[in-house]
């Protein structure tokens, strides 16, 4: 009974957290998680999936999956794709699913650089799983019985559905790329109360991969600085690090930081994230693990597994290097 009551407290405490977008450590492996401007960027059919598990050691883990498929249409210099995001919290059974239709247009702006503006239209579905909650007046502490009915005045929706609109732009050369995205332009209402109003904050992201010439290493070896700066409401995060890619294997190391703390107890440095990747034929595999360095406890860290498949990549004037 105490455990159930504790879950109620956690649920309502974390509701504000559910207004934040899921993020991925391996944004440089599957940049479609960042921006719809990467739709069709390999100028061929491309598909992939990434799975993220956060804090399994706290018995309050959060699982996120993102899958996509996109196609390049050479005659109109455009990429069109479909992506699906699924996000679930294991204890409260909160679940969020969104399907997006993405479009990107590509054109050169110089002999080395091109730009890809894009738009994205999504349909989101949130399920708060209130059937798993026990309200205060249902708990009889003297008899130890949980009543079925409640007279609590809170009037809640079981599910929320909404349309969502986003836009982005990507500037890239053969070896580097930098872009920005603005998600939730229409700030959809995600209130769980009937006739309530709680608008989803816009998610802003500035991200890039910058090629760093280093020594006389072989042409199939590349060193890149990578970063992703994010802001959504009072939440902010900056991931910065480096990736070293060889012909078959790649390695990366990033730091996750909280540049503008929203609380006096906020940590500036929150985790150290290690990554290893492998190419095999037309497949790309990735694994990353985030080592928590805050005093939140033994969280079990965060790990991600990713896989992509490139169908007959054919870039006429360069593709973003990822």
d(CA 18, CA 10): 12
Contacts of 118 (CB under 8 A, 6+ apart): 35, 36, 37, 39, 102, 103, 104, 105, 167, 168, 169, 170
pLDDT tens column, 167-183: 999 999 988 999 999 99
- Mean residue pLDDT of the chain comes to 84
Classify 2-311 by CATH class.
Answer: mainly beta
Token couple for 186:
């229409």
Give pLDDT, residue 184. Answer: 96
Largest CA distance in the chain: 78
The answer on pLDDT for 247 being more than 90 is no
pLDDT top residue among 151 and 184: 184
Q: Give the pLDDT score at 154.
A: 56
Percent of the chain with pLDDT over 90: 54
Which is nearest to 71 in space by CA: 44, 48, 49? Answer: 44
- Look-up: residue for tokens 């870039």? 315
Please give the pLDDT value at position 275: 97
Q: pLDDT grade, residue 157 (50/70/90)?
A: low
- C-alpha dihedral sign at 128, 182, 46, 302: negative
User: Residue 26: pLDDT band by 50, 70, 90 thresholds?
Assistant: very high
- Give yes or no for residue 269 having a pLDDT over 80: yes
Rounded average pLDDT over 246-264: 85
For residue 285, pLDDT beyond 90: yes
Helix (H, G, I), strand (E, B) or coil at 227: strand
B/e letters for 181-207, b = 16+ CB within 10 Å, e = fewer, are bebbeeebebebeeeeebebbbbebeb
pLDDT surpasses 80 at 56: no
Least confident span in 43-47, 80-84, 103-107, 195-199: 195-199
Q: Beta-strand (E) ranges in the chain?
A: 45-54, 62-73, 78-89, 95-105, 107-108, 114-127, 139-140, 145-146, 159-172, 177-183, 203-211, 222-232, 235-245, 249-257, 269-280, 283-292, 302-311
Q: 61-120 pLDDT, tens per residue?
A: 789 999 999 999 999 999 999 999 999 887 777 889 999 999 999 999 998 999 999 999
The pLDDT, as a whole number, for residue 166 is: 97
Confidence of residue 36 (pLDDT cuts 50, 70, 90): very high
Which residue would you say has higher pLDDT here, 39 or 134? Answer: 39
Contacts of 169 (CB under 8 A, 6+ apart): 37, 115, 116, 117, 118, 179, 180, 181
Rounded percentage of the chain residues whose pLDDT exceeds 70: 76
| Span 20-34, average pLDDT | 92
9 versus 250: which is more confidently predicted?
250
pLDDT tens for residues 120-141? 999 999 887 655 566 666 666 6
Distance from chain centroid for Cα 220: 29
d(CA 300, CA 158): 31
Place 294 in a pLDDT band, splitting at 50, 70 and 90.
confident
- For the chain, the domains span 2-311
Closest CA to 282 of 321, 318, 308, 247: 308
**Angle at alpha carbon of residue 49, lines to 228 and 83, rounded to 5°:** 80
> Residue range 259-285: average pLDDT?
85
Question: Do the Cβ atoms of 126 and 98 come closer than 8 Å?
Answer: no
What is the DSSP secondary-structure string of 24-41? -TTTTTSGGGT-GGGTTT
């Amino acid at each position: 009974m105490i455990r159930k009551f504790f879950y109620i407290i956690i649920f309502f405490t974390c509701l504000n957290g559910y207004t934040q977008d899921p993020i991925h450590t391996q944004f440089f492996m599957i940049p479609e998680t960042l921006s719809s401007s990467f739709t069709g960027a390999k100028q061929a059919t491309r598909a992939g999936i990434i799975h993220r598990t956060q804090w399994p050691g706290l018995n309050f883990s959060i699982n996120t999956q993102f899958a996509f498929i996109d196609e390049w249409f050479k005659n109109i210099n455009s990429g069109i794709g479909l992506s699906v995001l699924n996000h679930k919290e294991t204890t409260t059974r909160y679940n969020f699913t969104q399907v997006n239709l993405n479009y990107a247009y590509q054109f050169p702006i110089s002999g080395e650089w091109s730009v890809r503006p894009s738009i994205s239209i999504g349909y989101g579905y949130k399920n708060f799983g209130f059937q798993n909650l026990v309200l205060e007046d249902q708990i009889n502490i003297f008899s130890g019985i949980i009543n079925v009915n409640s007279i609590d005045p809170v009037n809640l929706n079981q599910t929320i559905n909404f349309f969502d609109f986003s836009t982005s732009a990507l500037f890239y050369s053969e070896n580097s790329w930098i872009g920005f995205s603005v998600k939730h332009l229409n700030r959809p209402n995600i209130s769980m109360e009937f006739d309530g109003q709680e608008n989803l904050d816009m998610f802003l992201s500035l991200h890039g991969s910058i090629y760093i010439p280093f020594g006389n290493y072989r042409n199939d070896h590349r060193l890149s600085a990578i970063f992703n700066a994010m802001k959504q409401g009072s939440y902010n995060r900056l991931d910065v690090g480096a990736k070293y890619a060889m012909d078959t294997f790649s390695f990366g190391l990033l730091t996750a930081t909280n540049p503008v703390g929203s609380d006096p107890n906020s940590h500036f440095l929150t985790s150290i994230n290690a990554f290893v990747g492998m190419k095999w034929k037309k497949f790309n595999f990735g694994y990353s693990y985030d080592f928590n360095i805050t005093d939140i406890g033994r969280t079990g860290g965060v790990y991600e597994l990713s896989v992509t498949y490139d169908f007959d990549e054919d870039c006429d004037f360069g593709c973003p290097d990822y």
